[in-house]
Amino acid sequence: MKKRILPGQKTRIACPAVFAKRSMARRSRFLPLGAAVVAGLLGAADGAFAEEDKTLSAVTVTATQDGPDGYRATKTRVGKVVQDPHDVPQAITTVTRALIEEQEANSLREALRNVSGLSFNAAEGGRSGDNMNLRGFYTFGDMYLDGIRDTAQYNRELFNLEQVDVLRGAAAMLFGRGQAGGVINQVSKTPMLYGINKVGIGIGTDGFQEVKADLNQRVGDTTAFRINVMNRDEGSARSNPYTGTEPEIHRMGFAPSVSFGLGTNHEVTLSHLWVKTQDRADYGVPFVNRKPNEDMAKAGNYYGVDANFDDSETNISTLNYLFKISPDTQWRTVMRAANYKRSYWAVAGQGVLTANSTAGQAKTREFETDNYVLQSDLNTAFTLFGLKNELITGVEYLNEDSIRWALRNLGTANNPLYKPGQYTTAAPATYKGETYSAYVQDSLEFIPDWKMTLGIRRDIMQSEYFTTTAFSGNFAENSYRAGLSWQPTAAQHYYAGWSDSFSPTADLYQLSGNQYPAERSKVFELGSKWLLADGNLSLRTSLYRAIKDWERNTDLESTATILTRKRQSDGVELEVAGRITDSWEVFSGLSLIHAEILEVAPGNGNVNFIGQMPRNTPKRTFNLWSTYQLPYGFKVGGGMEYKSQRYGGAPTGTVAFNPNWVPSYTRWDAMVSYDQPKYTVKFNVQNIFDKLYYDALYDNGGFTVPGQARRFILSTEYKF
């Protein structure tokens, strides 16, 4: 194996071992050597990298401390153990910190625009906050923060995230109950042993203002703390023509963390995330003749009034302990307590906009959720009967307690007024659930370069749900995962995988009838992954079929609590990420989906929807972002986002298949930056051509939300 020394480009952190002989590369059990060396340089808090065998040659990587890892992610824990995404036998899209910063993305929704096959929902059935469809299936039950369930209804921010991993396909064996589309896992920043400090400000059109800081300090040989803070205000190009009221975003966050024992066999990290929002939500414009009211959208009309509010407060405390038992064996235990509070009143974009258009259109509620989680995972690598094994096993306990109130109108029917904490006399909806889980997975190299992965998980869930009716559910379900991988060289990976998932009745604080069984999903996937350009560029392809039974949704109409007895989604995905040359970097994805409703619910399902495409599932999505490094620290870049036509919901009572729909769109963005060792100045233009497009769709067909109008943002960052 030849030693390879990378050029010292600031943002270049490559994986030099990828073109070593396969017999040597296989000895790195969890992560290619280059990523392990980089993790050592950066003092990664999780520290869960297997030590390379002594027979491998030394590798030198040159990088500056403040440089992000580029567009090609070199590590992920979405498979329950730290490894290169290239080695995971399932499709993964990672939105890295470098991509987030260059695009001036601030919310999770903005980051996920880089994920092909994903579309946005708008507050379906009270499911306010982040709500997406992936591969044609909803994902609001598949949100995770550092591998721990994070399904509460709130708007997630990026200021304390290192990257966002999207594991596509069913993942219940790894994460527990969930859906067929995939898992969206947010990866938090953690303390490091080298000093990095950044303070930035940004100003832009339509009232955009942001101040943020990322401060890391080493305070001993093995101890460091890190603090991330953020405060952001945004206005809008849309306004109420009668009052001048605009949608607004006011958000602030504070995320301290401290790590002990970094680089030792015992690492402990204690962290807290506090996020407060005070928004005035935008519920968009209504449909007219089955398409968006374009005249109203072009005029920038907004239905909201000054009294509208969307207030939330999120507190998440986490204790993470990593015990490195040996170079090939690690035991990780995580405890978390989380509290989520939210209260909102928004005027929906329905009917005719008048000087008093709030009556009968209030979208309002208040809720509080408490989650307590204990996870403990053990991963180890060993040889048995001459065969190499990579074993992962773990247990989990999850306690969920949620209460939801209806807010009381303090005004009149024609002039409503709502305030937080002012409830109706009706009994609140409550949900209490306890889940006990255990799983085991083994990846067995049965012949050189060939691995078989088999996994099983058992979830036992006990829940109590009450709205106008009461429901008690006791579910005990198995989830499975199987895969076959062939990696003839370190730069090639070909795999076939099968996985399933389940989601029981009354999960996610909604009741859909106890006469129906749990949702079940099955996903079959064929894929390939390549590393090109000396390992700096990754290319992946996947071909999949996802089949789901008993999905709880109202999909294209709302006369049944369960519409879809069976549905299917077939798709093809292509993705490229990384550096083509030392100066040219690209991130791009293409998704082609053919989704179809195969059966509707017995008794009350609408047979006219059989054979039709489900809601908010564009057949084609494409995203591109590319930058080029110029001399003297200048960089230029830009990209686009494309979605084909999507069906929205149909009005209540619709019998024939004639749903609302939104047209296809293409949005273009651009960026230019000037980067120096101590500071960076950056100028972003979002939606260059001021394209009118519709970003999010409401479930039951009432309205759709226009996307971001053209916006200019000038930002600067000081590094010390």
pLDDT at 21 over 50: no
pLDDT at 410 over 90: yes
pLDDT at 570 over 60: yes
Q: Which of 323, 321, 322, 319 is nearest to 336 (CA)?
A: 319
Convert the pLDDT of each residue in 97-111 to its tens digit.
999 999 999 999 999
| Cα distance between residue 379 and residue 328, in whole Å | 8
| Cα distance between residue 445 and residue 391, in whole Å | 12
Q: In the beta sheet, which residues pair with residue 56? A: none
Q: ∠ CA(313), CA(316), CA(317), 5° rounding?
A: 145
> Strands 694-697 and 118-121, how do they pair?
parallel
Convert the pLDDT of each residue in 514-524 to its tens digit.
567 778 899 99
Secondary element (H or E) of residue 24: helix 22-25
Domains of the chain by start residue, with CATH: 16-719 (2.40.170.20)
Please report the pLDDT score of residue 515 as a whole number.
Answer: 61
Positive or negative torsion for Cα 312, 373, 508, 483: positive
Neighbours of 602 (CB within 10 A): 11
Convert the pLDDT of each residue in 576-631 to its tens digit.
999 999 999 999 999 999 999 998 877 767 788 889 898 899 999 999 999 999 99
- Highest mean pLDDT among 61-65, 206-210, 409-413, 653-657 belongs to 206-210
Pick the more confident residue, 620 or 14. Answer: 620
Average of per-residue pLDDT values in the chain: 86
Convert the pLDDT of each residue in 281-302 to its tens digit.
888 999 988 899 999 999 999 9
Quote the radius of gyration of the chain (alpha carbons, Å).
Answer: 25
Please name the amino acid found at residue 706: P
Please report the pLDDT score of residue 3 as a whole number.
Answer: 36
Q: Which of 662, 518, 522, 532 is nearest to 584 (CA)?
A: 532
| Cα distance between residue 362 and residue 359, in whole Å | 7
Give yes or no for a contact between 459 and 501, defined as CB atoms under 8 angstroms apart: no
